[in-house]
Amino acid sequence: MFDITKRPIVIAGPCALESEEQADKICSHVSEYFATAFRAGVYKGQNRPIVNGKPCYWGMGDEGLDVLYRLKKKYNIPVVTEIQSEDQLAKAIGSELDILQIGARHMQNFPLIRSIAKKWNKPVILKRGLGSTIDEWMGVYEHLASNGNKNIMLCERGIVSFERANDIRWRLDVLAIPQIKSDYPDRIVLADVSHGCGRREFAIPMARAAIAAGADGVIVEVHSNPEESKTDGRQTIDLATYEKLVCAVAQMYTFIR
Ligand code: PEP
Ligand code: MN
């Protein structure tokens, strides 16, 4: 599905699908500007039920899969979402979803991983666990590949670190990229420059760094109005910044290959 010799992979879209109107605005923009696939979380996990007195947003749920389907048809772009349970997997299989995302917190949910390996043969994004070693991560890759799935994209998304200055949440492990490429040159590696930074100001420099380190592409959270995003607003870039990020990624990709 992805010919990595031709151009970098750019998977872009909001953290969460909030409404069809919101997702349409973002999808129309990113699909016009180079995105390989449109991402939007329909089933969200949340660290806390309530933050600053407000209940956290859990996503649109099943209805979101229908919205993704309509956007896929309208803009002719593959669509990605995360699933976290067996019943969500069944719904994804019954939908027109193109790419399944396994979130960082589920990287070692082995019953779920084994079900995905058995039942899902389309592309998968396997995020690295927040506190997982590269070796543990590659072990999960092997589970997923054990049933013949050749379309597994590894995604470095930042790991737990002691550094918390500038509201950094996780720390993009750029070094993981050449480490994986040196041991497994054929594996596709992406960098999530939103979760891996926690701050939108760092998305472009980290995208450049990831591509320079050998990544095949990036995942980035994009919103038409990041300040109003229901989830992960602080790390989400706006549409104009997205265009700049795409240029930075394309330039760096051309430069190093
Ligand atoms: C996401 O991509 O929106 C997400 C929740 O990612 P992660 O699993 O890396 O936290
Ligand atoms: Mn997010």
CA of 187 from ligand 2 middle (Å) equals 24
Q: Which residues contact 179 (CB under 8 A, 6 or more apart)?
A: 134
Predicted confidence at residue 5, as pLDDT, reads: 53
- Atom 4 (ligand 1) nearest CA: 103
- For the chain, 257 residues long, the average pLDDT of each consecutive 10-residue run is 69 98 98 97 94 94 98 98 98 98 98 98 97 98 96 98 91 98 98 97 98 98 97 97 97 93
Question: Distance between CA atoms of 173 and 156, rounded to whole angstroms?
Answer: 7
167 domain-assigned: yes
248 domain-assigned: yes
81 domain-assigned: yes
Residue 102: which CATH number? Answer: 3.20.20.70
Instruction: Quote the number of domains for the chain.
Output: 1
How many angstroms separate the Cα of 147 from the Cα of each of 85, 92, 118? 19, 19, 6
95 domain-assigned: yes
Q: What is the DSSP string of the chain?
A: ---TTTS-EEEEE-SB---HHHHHHHHHHHHHTT-SEEE-BSS---S-SEETTEEPP---THHHHHHHHHHHHHHT--EEEE--SHHHHHHHHTTT--EEEEPGGGTT-HHHHHHHHHH--S-EEEEPPTT--HHHHHHHHHHHHTTT---EEEEE--B--S--GGG--SB--TTHHHHHHHH-TTSEEEEETTTTTSSGGGHHHHHHHHHHTT-SEEEEEB-SSGGG-SS-GGG-B-HHHHHHHHHHHHHHHHHH-
What range defines the domain where residue 205 resides? 9-256
pTM of the model: 0.96
221 domain-assigned: yes
Ligand nearest to the CA of 229: 2
Check: CB of residue 65 under 8 Å from CB of residue 90: no
**Is there an atom of ligand 1 within 6 Å of 15 CB?**
yes
2 domain-assigned: no
**Is there an atom of ligand 1 within 6 Å of 103 CB?**
yes
Question: Distance between CA atoms of 13 and 23, rounded to whole angstroms?
Answer: 8
**Is there an atom of ligand 1 within 6 Å of 104 CB?**
yes
45 domain-assigned: yes
